[in-house]
Structure 1
Amino acid sequence: MWTTGPADSFDAERRYLVWGLAGLPLAIAIVMIVSFSAGGAGNPEEPERFPGIDSLHVTTDHGDVEIVGIDGGDVLVTRRAQGDAPRAESWGGGSLTIGQVCDESLVCTSLRDTPQDHTDYVLHVPRDLDVTVHSRNGDITLRGLRGRVDARAADGTVHRDPPTPAPSPSGTA
């Protein structure tokens, strides 16, 4: 017959303590893996540089897009993933396309995202770049651009700062 006395309860407590301490590093590792594999939801990635771009096309369902004109020659793209955010980018022939999936025959379809799972973009582009940006539900912010701009937001808003004037030949604006 089994009896539970003070010695048995002490051994059981010690077993739980040993297993708990042994499992603690595993629990911490799991939490860290889940945190990092979530893509740092909401945390921006490091900017990616795209040289030689002379036209930009951005299409989103829910992501916000901010495009800032700069004096540099490359396009810098910073992404902020929300949830399990899908993304699609393609470039070549001087064009950068964001938010559309194109096949070999150049037939493109818009990437579908959701309010919970989408990517917000901040793009730093040459001031004179031609820009097309369309969003269904996201907001669009445009700053310091001088090139042709086609910006439309069906249920979001379009904010546009006045273009930055080109410098005059004498060096004053």
Structure 2
Amino acid sequence: MQFELQKALPVLERTPQVVESLLYGLPDEWIHNNEGGDTWTPFEIVAHLIHGEKTDWIPRAQVILGEGNKEFVPFDMKGHIKEGKGKTLSQLLDEFKILRKENLAQLQALGPTEEMLDLTGIHPSLGTVTLRHLLASWVVHDLTHIHQLSRVMAKQYSEAVGPWKQFMGVLGGKR
């Protein structure tokens, strides 16, 4: 499927609702556990989404569409730590909804045309990318973290499902 902004917007609009529906009001065991090691908890994933709203998608679109230097500022993969500090999950979910709504309004105000979607910027590790690449990646990034949330939560019951684990694709089974 080719990227079309009007088809991407409904996914971007729904992500905060999906995340909130999945996480709001759950006990701490669900939101503060990870998959082991250096992986993220659902709380950290939401904080990461907020950090992206503040520093990634729209700021990079503005770099592409602006004059002068087309180099993106490197993304801080630990920026979520600061975003979550001293906040509750409920506060993060509310902040994510507000930021996403504002960012989508900014995107629509930019009014990207087909020609604008082909304009380029310079990613620190990927090199030349287009606005089309960036916006399509925003959608897939959302879906990646929705998938990640489901996987992290499912892994909390990895042993509890017993022999059914073989049928649970989210736990590495065959389905």
Q: What is the TM-score normalised by the length of structure 2? A: 0.20
Higher relative contact order (CA 8 A, sep 6+): 2
Q: Which has the larger radius of gyration?
A: 1
**Greater strand content:** 1
**Greater helix content:** 2
